[in-house]
Each structure stands twice: as C-alpha cells, then as structure tokens.
Structure 1
Amino acid sequence: MLRPAINAVRPAIDAVRPAVEAVRPALRTASPYLRRTREVLGTDLARQCAVTLGLLFSLVAAAGGSGQFGGTAIKDAAGGAYSTEFTLLAPDGPAFSIWSPIYLGLAAYTVFQWLPGQREALRQRAVGWLVAASLLLNGIWIVSAQAGLVGLSLVVMAGLLGVLLVAMRVLNRHPAGTRAEVCLVDVPVGLYTGWILVAAGANAASWFTVHGIDLFGWGADVWAVITIAAVSFTGAVVAMSGRGRMSAALALCWGLGWLIIARWFGEPGSVPVAVAAGFGLFFVLMCGGSRTFRVGHEERRAIRQGYVPEI
C-alpha cells in the first residue's frame, strides 16, 4: 500500500536532491562558524541577562527590606538582631547610606556590560557570572534577614563575601584597559566588596549574640576586636592587590568609621572596639594608599624611561 505513495513522491525528492547536494558543501564549511556563533552569543547573552536580572532582583529586595512594601524592615527583624544597638560590630545608622553609590555603580556596570564591545570581552566573561551571583545572593540575604532567619543570612553572607573576593581576584588577573572600565567595573565591585566585609562581621556578631554563644568565655569585646582585626587584614590584602583597590579600602573604612562612632558615642559602648576599629581604618588606608602610590610611581618612572613595567 505504501509503494504507490512512495513512487508518487520520488520525482519530487529527485528534483530537490541536486539543490541539497549543491548547498551541502557550503553548510559543511559554515557549520563550525555557525556553531561557534551560537555558543558565543548564547553564553554571552545569558551572562548579560543574568547580571541585569540579578540587579533588578537585588533592587526590589532592597526596597522590600527597607519596609517600602509594607513588610518588616531589616533593622526591626529578628528582634532587632540587625540594628545598631544589638551587637558591638554594627556600625551606626548613616553607614548604610553607602548602598546608594554601590547600587548606582552596579547599575552603571550593568549598562556597561551591555555595550557591543563588552559582549565578547574576556574580562566580562570572567567576572560577569560572579557579579550576577553576588547580586542574587545579596537579594537572598535581604529576604532571609527580613524573615528573621539569622543563621541562613549568615550562610548567605559568607557565600556573598566569597564570591566577591573571587571577583576581585579575577579583576586583578584581567586588568582594565581603559579608565572608563576602571570607573564602571572595578570601582563598583570594590565598593561592594569593602562594604560586605563590614557587613559580614556584623552578621556574624548578630548570630552569636542571638544564640548567646561566647567561645572560651572571652567576652564580646575580645571577639569583636578579633573580628575587626580579621576584617581589616582581609581588606588590606584586597586593597593591596592589583594596581591598588582604593574603592574597597574606602568602603571598608567608611564602615569602620561609623563603627567607631557607634561604639564611642552610642550603645552598647566599647572603647576597645572603637580603638580597634580606628587602628583597622588606619591600617587599611595605609596599605591601599601605599600600593596605589607605588604603582603610580613605577608607571610614571617607566614612562620617563620609555617602557612599561610589570607590576
């Protein structure tokens, strides 16, 4: 029964066959290029969309975390565990205004990575997914903190800090090619990283305080000073990396400065914590400033001598 149908279709197949045979070599030649184009465009477009969606999610979560949608503000969640008065490592209220330049910088980065010249840029491919992951984690942290899940927020914060430290290392490995790229990529990520260092210390202090944990019975002041030392050392390492990460240093010092004010003039007061924060602030600024000055000095000397040194 099928043979008559096959015989009826065969002339049409025979007529199309020469055209197919003529096109086949061109398709075979173009296939690797088409495959590569599909892979590149798909991956890069997905990365750009992930960064954009991550920023939108983080902004919406931030608006919700401030109570603009009618829910509980983060500072009032979990019995005030994230408020300035709850732990010795929470900076004073005005410190959190740094989120405005951070979000503005991340928005500028998001627009910048959509430029045609940045789609296939090796640097964007290396750091873009990390920025997208950090924005997603930031939004998740806000949601978990607003829900009063202090333990979950600490885990998410640790992941966020880890992602940003890796992002800083990637940026150091792939230096910026222009000043515009420094301003639109390195500076926002640096501000973000420096502030999250402060936030991670405060988040850890909230969790320990909520659960009433005092390791070895050393007291809150001692552990706060140890945490400030660890945060300051990490910030100094970041600030001295690459060509000098002053944006990360300044964000960290901003947080430490408001921590000094909170502990010196506010409650709970702690002179040791305020003094430790002051030493940390000075240490981080000196490390970041010295690295930036040295790199600039070497470059100026190299220009005078007619070559570019490896820093």
Structure 2
Amino acid sequence: MQQSNSGFNQSFLPQLAILIAIIAAFVVNVWSNIFPWGGANIGEISNTLFKDVLIIPANYAFAIWGLIYLGLFAYGVFQILPRQRGNLSLRQSGIFLIVACVAQIVWVYLFLGRMFVFSIVAMLVILLSLIAAFLQLRKPENPTSRQFKWFAKIPISIYLGWISVATIVNVACGLYSLGWNNGATIWAIVMVVVASIVGFLMTFRCQDTAYTWVTVWALIAIAVKHSNNIPLFVAAIVCTIILAAVILTQSFQRTVGDSV
C-alpha cells in the first residue's frame, strides 16, 4: 500500500505543479492589471511610454490572453486526469510550461518596474520554453487523438504564437527605452515580414495553423493601429492576406487528403 501511495504521489505531484503554475501566472496577470505596482498597468505603459513603437498592435489584440488562458487551463486539467498520468510527453512538455509560467510572472514584475531591457531576457525564456514544449508535443510517438490535439497541442501553439509576436514587440520596446528609434518604419516592416515568414514555415513545415492564425490576428491589429503609416499598413495587410491564403490552402489540402 505504501508503494502504491508513493507511486501515486510521484505521478500526481508534477501534474499538480503544472496546473498550479498556470493558475499562478493567470492570477499575477489579472492582479497586475487591476492593481499594478508602479501605478500603471502593462497596457497603460505601452500606450504612453511606447506610443511611438510601430510594431505594437492595437489594444484589442491583447484580448487574446483570454483565449490563451482558456487553452492553458484546458491543458492543465487534461494533463492531470488519471488516464493521462502515464503520458510522458505531457509531463515533459508541462515542465517547460512551468518554466514559461514562472518566467512570465518575472516578466510582469520587470516590465511594470520599467526594467525593459531585463524583461527581454524573461521574454526569451518564455519563448524558448514554449518552443521546447511545442517540439515535445510534436514527437511522432505522441497520441494522435482529437483530445490530445485540442487540449495539448493547440493551447501551446496559440500561446507560442502570441509570445513570438510579443518577443518582437518586447525587443522593440527595450531598444526604444535605450533611445534607439532610427528607421522605425523600416524596422517595423522587417519585423512584420519576419513574423510572417515564421508563420508560413509553421504552417507548411509543422502543419500548425493555430500558430499562424495568431500571427494573422496580430498583423491585422498592427495594421489597424498604424493605418496612418501607409508603408507599414500595406506591409501588414499584404502579409495578412498571404498568410490567410497559406492557411486556407493547407487546410484544404489536409481535408482533401483525409477524404481520399
């Protein structure tokens, strides 16, 4: 009986830690927006100190955090279910997710504390952790069920998609805080193109459209916010159309392939 309880604890505690990390990151995110230390929340800082950073999307784009946390909670509950306790891939990807959640909490503290350059380091930790989790969930030996796709793969893809965009924005803000703002429009267009290329590769190399839809969401929001900057607006819209076409083409090919 003791051995049975010990085995249960060893298998259950890591899964519980994953769920706790997700909840902690969510609570800190909500708390920091309602009661921000430093007097201004993340959105207010972006709209004031970084109002001239052209790669920042419109405010409404950040509503995607609701979808991100919905997916993460689905992941957290899914991986803690008794029938998933033997799923090594979920546990290993969950460890990387814990690192990402902790780094996100640190990032909130650094950004609200106006330590923008240091916040880039925390953001890179989030990004690299999510890449590791993404790759872990894409291993060929993993389950191919719809449940695994919707409750494990897609939540991480959406989170990674937004953090990829957020990393670009964070670096731009960090450089701006140091006084670097030369050729702002050109660099913003370059970053839009880079984000689009990554989205293109994720669609065709990884067959991951969830990631790319997040990129499309961000590009539209960039175009909306900076519609008065014609070169940037055109670049964002063109990239949006191309990515949407790529996603729809990939989805159509997959549908045809499944029906054959």
* Shared fold, TM over 0.5: yes
Give 5+ residue unaligned stretches, structure 2: none
Letter in 2 for 1:135: C
- Distance in 2 between residues matched to 1:229 and 1:161, nearest whole Å: 19
**1:102 aligns to 2:68 (yes or no):** yes
Contact (CA 8 Å) 2:202, 2:209: kept in 1 or not? no
- Distance in 2 between residues matched to 1:296 and 1:137, nearest whole Å: 38
Matches within 5 A, 1:32-181: 38=6, 41-42=9-10, 44-68=11-35, 71-77=39-45, 80-81=48-49, 85-174=51-140, 175-181=142-148
CA-to-aligned-CA distance 1:187-213 (integer Å, 9 cap, x gap): 211111111122111111111111122
**1:262 aligns to 2:225 (yes or no):** yes
- Cα deviation, residue 41, structure 1: 5.0
TM-score, structure 2 length as denominator?
0.88
**1:206 aligns to 2:173 (yes or no):** yes
Matches within 5 A, 1:264-283: 264=227, 269-283=228-242
Contact (CA 8 Å) 1:201, 1:227: kept in 2 or not? yes
Letter in 2 for 1:252: T
Give 5+ residue unaligned stretches, structure 1: 1-33, 302-311
**1:196 aligns to 2:163 (yes or no):** yes
Once structures 1 and 2 are overlaid, which stretch shifts more, 278-287 or 158-167? 278-287
Contact (CA 8 Å) 1:221, 1:272: kept in 2 or not? yes
CA-to-aligned-CA distance 1:144-168 (integer Å, 9 cap, x gap): 1111110111111122112222222
Q: How many residues align?
A: 258
- Distance in 1 between residues matched to 2:230 and 2:17, nearest whole Å: 45
Moved over 6 A (4+): none
**1:251 aligns to 2:219 (yes or no):** no
TM-score, structure 1 length as denominator?
0.75
- Cα deviation, residue 75, structure 1: 2.5
Larger Rg: 1
**Quick one: higher RCO (CA 8 Å, sep 6+), 1 or 2?**
2
| 3-state SS in 2 of match to 1:66 | helix
- Cα deviation, residue 289, structure 1: 3.2
CA RMSD of the aligned region, Å? 2.6
Contact (CA 8 Å) 1:239, 1:245: kept in 2 or not? yes
Task: Give the corresponding residue for 1:231.
Answer: 195
Distance 1:149 1:80, change over 3 A: farther
Distance 1:207 1:284, change over 3 A: same
